[in-house]
Amino acid sequence: MKGPMITIEIPANKVWDEKAEMIFDVPATKLVLCHSLISISKWEAQYRKRFLKLNKFDEKNGINTPDELLNYVKCMTVNNNINPYVYNCLTDEDIKKIQEYISAEMTGTTFNTPDTDKPKPNQEAMSSEMMYYYMSAAQIPFSCEEWHLSRLIALLRIASIKNDPNPKKQTNAQITKSNAAINAARRAKYHTKG
């Protein structure tokens, strides 16, 4: 994985398995996690539902239960040969760190759009396959599937803006402001009054 990752250190512990009616020793483990399109694809294949709602992590439309969150943590795990009982040792603090990591914006890109220019919510179901389609349409290499999801979404949004054949027209107020600046510059350059 190439995207920003988070490491969660799990101390050695013992876990009771109700089904097996046994206690299992869990060794100290470092979980290395990456929130990426690959992780989402694995989770969606398991649950057969969308992880994302309108390009945004949303608990109401993706992860609804603690078990679904725990399984998403498993899907995000990058390192191999993890004892399955390790996930039962995650503390509330660990879960909070993981959720903060998932929600974090891992990009320096910002989108400053006036309220009138805000994009309308996309009504299409935003599944991992739809994101792969958008990557393909924008000629973004599939290796970007390993990026933190917020970076990938920012890149897809930039590609959409740059490839828009009909850029937004300026409002009358924007045109007036632009013309006033041009006229002021000309008056200053030619030392005229009007």
Could you report the per-residue pLDDT of 128-154, keeping only the tens digit for each?
888 888 899 989 999 888 888 888 888
Spatial neighbors of 194 by CB under 8 A, at least 6 apart, are 187
The pLDDT value recorded for residue 2 is 60
C-alpha count within 13 angstroms, C-beta hemisphere, residue 166:
0
pLDDT tens digits, 2-52:
668 999 999 999 988 888 888 899 999 999 999 999 999 999 999 888 887
Q: CA torsion angle for 53, 59, 61, 64 (degrees, to 10)?
A: 160
For the chain, give the mean pLDDT: 80
